[in-house]
């Protein structure tokens, strides 16, 4: 019996079975990682929806079976204009038009171009890119914030009058 078992372990059939079990184990790990990430994002979106509505006392929002009728908010970061600073929370209006709460800690790295700056460098109106992870309070725990230059349109409007404004039109 011992010899047959040893022969089976060294056979090609045993090798194929082990490769198959290894592949099945790897596929299961990838599948469960996808479930974990999806659950984490859905939990953030659910908490975000609950907290978002609390900010609009009494206003009703269009919902279908309890779910908001818009896309899910990005949970791991945002890009947009800083609206409000009440440290450790910064409110940013994202590109999707949704205001997001960003929690800053002493571990958060803040950069303006390549230079590392302090939290004091943040100001209302700055454009920022935030990378982090969601927490259970529907906030983004910021790991990295990069301050961007003002959009080109804003800089041009400040320095040059609009060609459609009455002051900029030439008499005919």
Enter the DSSP assignment of 170.
P
28: CB partners within 8 A, 6+ apart: none
**Model confidence over 17-55: pLDDT tens digits?**
999 999 999 999 999 999 988 887 887 776 665 555 555
Three-class SS string for 111-137? Answer: EECCEECCHHHCCCCCEEEEEEEECCC
Helix (H, G, I), strand (E, B) or coil at 160: coil
Q: Residue 51: its pLDDT value, please?
A: 59
- Classified as helix, coil or strand, 152 is helix
> Is the CB of residue 67 less than 8 Å from the CB of residue 59?
no
Helix, strand, or coil (residue 101): strand
Enumerate the domain spans of the chain: 1-70, 73-155
Residue 157: pLDDT band by 50, 70, 90 thresholds?
low
pLDDT tens digit string along 94-133?
Answer: 877 788 999 999 999 999 988 999 999 999 999 999 999 9
Among 18-22, 133-137, 141-145, which stretch is predicted with the lowest mean pLDDT?
133-137
The tokens describing 82, both together, are: 């800083």
The highest-level CATH class for domain 73-155 is: mainly beta
- Rounded average pLDDT over 62-88: 72
User: Which sign, positive or negative, has the C-alpha torsion 133, 135, 138, 142?
Assistant: negative
């Amino acid at each position: 019996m011992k010899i047959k078992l040893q022969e089976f372990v060294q056979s090609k059939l045993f090798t194929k079975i082990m490769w198959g079990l290894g592949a099945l184990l790897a596929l299961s790990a990838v599948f469960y990682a996808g479930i974990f990430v999806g659950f984490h994002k859905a939990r953030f979106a659910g908490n975000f929806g609950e907290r978002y509505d609390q900010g609009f006392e009494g206003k009703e929002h269009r919902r279908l079976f309890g779910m908001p009728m818009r896309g899910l908010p990005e949970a791991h970061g945002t890009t947009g204009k800083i609206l409000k600073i009440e440290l450790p929370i910064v409110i940013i209006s994202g590109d999707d038009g949704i205001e997001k709460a960003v929690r800053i800690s002493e571990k958060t790295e803040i950069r303006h171009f390549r230079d590392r700056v302090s939290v004091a460098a943040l100001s209302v109106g700055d454009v920022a890119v935030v990378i982090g992870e969601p927490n259970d309070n529907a906030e983004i725990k910021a790991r990295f914030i990069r301050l961007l230059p003002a959009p080109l349109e804003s800089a041009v409007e400040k320095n040059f009058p609009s060609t459609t404004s009455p002051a900029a039109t030439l008499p005919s």
